């Protein structure tokens, strides 16, 4: 197991990757437009302690499009974006989170994994540093690829207000 962990600060819209209690990397993110919250179907970003439960997309090309955690064979570009303007783009890599706090973000109507909450890539045109997602933590593709390569399944992820 590594000495790395992730801390996501909703108020600052940042993701910090720590190594041995020191910030190793910082990325701007975009979390839920609806703010923090744990309820199913709220489209909020869940708070508290989580782990990376699954890593999806290893070796996929940048801008690979995922639907239901499966690569569609599409590669996102501006033309595809214009063809599907309402699509919530999940690109390049997926880090699927699982809550660790029973009754807060694990189990029942507050289960992070059952809500399909990911750290994932998004189009480079997606604004970072401001809330805008449907609950997930969005990163630009280069950033999510870098993070993906530096974390393991089981890495702790703490989501703070």
19-58 pLDDT, tens digit per residue, is 999 999 999 999 999 999 999 999 999 999 999 999 999 9
Q: What is the mean pLDDT of residues 92-105?
A: 98
Which of 6, 43, 33 is CA-nearest to residue 159?
A: 6
What pTM, to 2 d.p., does this model score?
Answer: 0.96
Beta strands in the chain (DSSP E): 4-9, 14-19, 22-28, 48-56, 64-67, 70-75, 91-99, 118-122, 137-140, 156-160
Residue 2 has pLDDT above 90, yes or no: no
- Tell me how many domains the chain contains: 1
* Count of CB atoms situated within 10 Å of the CB of 102: 11
The pLDDT score that the predictor gives to residue 124 is: 93
CATH number, domain with residue 73:
2.40.440.10
Cα 13 from Cα 10, distance rounded (Å): 5
Give strand pairing partners of 122: 140
Domain that holds residue 22: 4-160
Cα 41 from Cα 69, distance rounded (Å): 18
The pLDDT score that the predictor gives to residue 105 is: 98
């Amino acid at each position: 197991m590594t000495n790395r962990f992730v801390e996501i600060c909703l108020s600052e819209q940042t993701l910090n990757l720590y190594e041995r209690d020191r910030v190793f990397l910082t990325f701007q993110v975009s979390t839920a437009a609806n703010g923090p919250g744990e309820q199913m179907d709220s489209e909020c970003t869940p708070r508290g302690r989580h782990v990376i439960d699954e890593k999806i997309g290893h070796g996929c090309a940048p801008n690979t499009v995922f639907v239901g955690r499966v690569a569609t064979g599409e590669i996102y570009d501006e033309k595809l974006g214009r063809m599907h303007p309402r699509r919530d783009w999940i690109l390049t890599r997926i880090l699927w989170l699982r809550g660790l706090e029973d009754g807060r973000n694990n189990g029942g109507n507050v289960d992070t994994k059952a809500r399909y909450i990911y750290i994932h890539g998004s189009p480079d045109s997606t604004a970072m540093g401001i809330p805008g997602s449907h609950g997930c933590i969005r990163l630009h593709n280069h950033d999510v690829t870098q993070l993906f390569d530096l974390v393991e399944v089981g890495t702790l992820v703490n989501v703070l207000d």
